[in-house]
Chain A
Amino acid sequence: MRKIEAIKITKAVTELVRKASFFLRSDVLSALRKSYAAEKNAQAREILKAILDNAAYARKQKLAICQDTGLPVVFIEIGQEVAVRGDLKAAVNKGVGEGYKKYYLRDSIVSDPLNRIKSKFSACIMHMNIVKGSKIKLTLLPKGFGCENKSQLKMFKPTASIKEIKDFIVKVVRDAGADACPPYVIGVGIGGTADYAGFMAKKALLRKISSRNLKLENDLLREINKTGIGPMGLGGINTALAVHVQSYPTHIAGLPVSVNISCHALRSASVTL
């Protein structure tokens, strides 16, 4: 069985922190450029231009794209034929903590959600999955909370129509309004359980924009862009860059739908070891 030292994982995670925080994803950049080219509203164009300039400046100056460097969410896919020498979770946490310190990012985590204790860097969120093979894939999604706060879950009746589900997703975006930094990428998880739908909605944000286009996704994108919220809520045709839907089998009694919104600063980076 292949063996991998925990220190290698720590170093790889630290590097993902740098990549994700300073360099906007190329698919997000392309989508923003397309939006800018298509936008007619003068103020919206100006804001989209600032967003593109910001990404370029952050890259050049090695500054965080956004001051909200997020709650780090790490997706870990572990091949069933690889063994980690050392403590995997500790290695990931250490890599995140070291990266945030080294690159002067904001430590936005409180160690206790109720008494809001702010100590040194606390644990991040980890999603582990065992897969085939002998490799480990690490993906970091530093999730900003302006947009995370606008996430919603609804447990529909199994007899609900597609229209009801679409209306709910569009309403979540309307509820977010300008608060969560449009143009958004909308992650949707349909099916599974309440928690699994939430996981799928988050994971859908990792999918490359334009990599797949379901009719449902295109319809939703059209509906969302008809709301006219636009960049910073000042109007225009660009309220969302993409809608990504993931689905999974569910129970005969239910139909969970979870929506996870990402701001335009959708940051993530991956590495396979």
Chain B
Amino acid sequence: MKKINTPLDLNTIKSLKAGQEFFLSGTIYTARDQAHKRLTEAVNSGKALPIELRGAVIYYCGPTQTPKGRVIGSCGPTTSSRMDAFTPLLLTKGLKAMIGKGARSKEVRAAIKKHQGVYFVTYAGCGALLARCVKKSRVVAYGDLGPEAILELEVKDFPLIVAIDANGGSIYG
């Protein structure tokens, strides 16, 4: 399978087509419901963001606690559509790629096209298997949210399927 790395440059993003599979290596950030709410509030009130969104890859994930001797616990994707309301704004702030599971709204699909981003899905309900692809993990923001904190993950050969590409193509029809 083809491999891609972060940061994802525009040419790479433009070359991705819905349905294609890749292995991703590099840095990604976890963020789910409450982290999205806080990031959005920060943007709207003009406050500094705790992570650099420009060029970022966000993974919709809230892992289990980390068992002793491991980098991370089970860490599969959560349902992306719950983040739909927040996504267009984050794309205007430079977010480039998202990883999750399930379909997205029309608005998100249009925003992905407009801002030349990409939405990937990964093996849903396979959190144990995906933990193998995470080489480093640390909390970078909102630690008080527990499993919903923003983590910076170093991943190696993380399996992805392009679900919505920068041309508006989608595996969901």
B78 touches A64 (CB 8 A): no
Bin chain B's interface residue count: 35 or more
Please name all residues of chain B whose beta carbon is closer than 8 Å to the beta carbon of A146 when the two chains form the complex.
78-79, 101, 124
Residues of B within 8 A of A241 (CB): none
B164 CB, min distance to chain A CBs, angstroms: 12
Looking at B4-12, B58-66, B90-98, B110-118, the stretch in contact with chain A turns out to be: B58-66
The chain B residue with its CB closest to the CB of A183 is B125
A149, B171: Cβ atoms closer than 8 Å: no
Report the minimal beta-carbon distance from B130 to chain A, rounded to whole angstroms.
8
Residue of B nearest to A232 (CB): B124
Instruction: Mark the stretch among A75-83, A155-163, A173-181, A216-224 that contacts chain B.
Output: A173-181
Query: Could you tell me the distance between the alpha carbons of A54 and B74 in the complex, rounded to whole angstroms?
Result: 10
> Is A215 in contact with chain B by the CB < 8 A criterion?
no
Chain B positions within 8 Å of A, measured between CB atoms, are 19, 34, 61-68, 70, 73-76, 78-81, 101-103, 121, 123-129, 131-132, 144-148, 159, 161, 171-172
Please give me the residue from chain A that is nearest to B67 by CB atom: A104
The reply on A50 being an interface residue by CB < 8 A is yes
A108–B81 CA distance with the chains assembled, in angstroms: 19
Name the CB-closest residue of A to B65: A104
A233 to B122, CA, bound (A): 12
| Interface secondary structure of A, over-half rule | loop
Instruction: Provide a sorted-by-A list of 12 A–B residue pairs whose CB atoms are within 8 angstroms.
Output: A50-B126, A54-B129, A57-B132, A62-B67, A65-B128, A66-B125, A104-B64, A106-B63, A118-B148, A179-B101, A233-B102, A233-B103
In this complex, how many residues of chain A approach chain B with their Cβ under 8 Å: the count is: 38
- Considering the chains assembled together, what is the distance between the CA atoms of A118 and B35 in angstroms? 14
Q: How far is the CA of A111 from the CA of B171 in the complex (A)?
A: 38
Q: Which of B34, B127, B171 sits near A233, CB closer than 8 Å?
A: B171
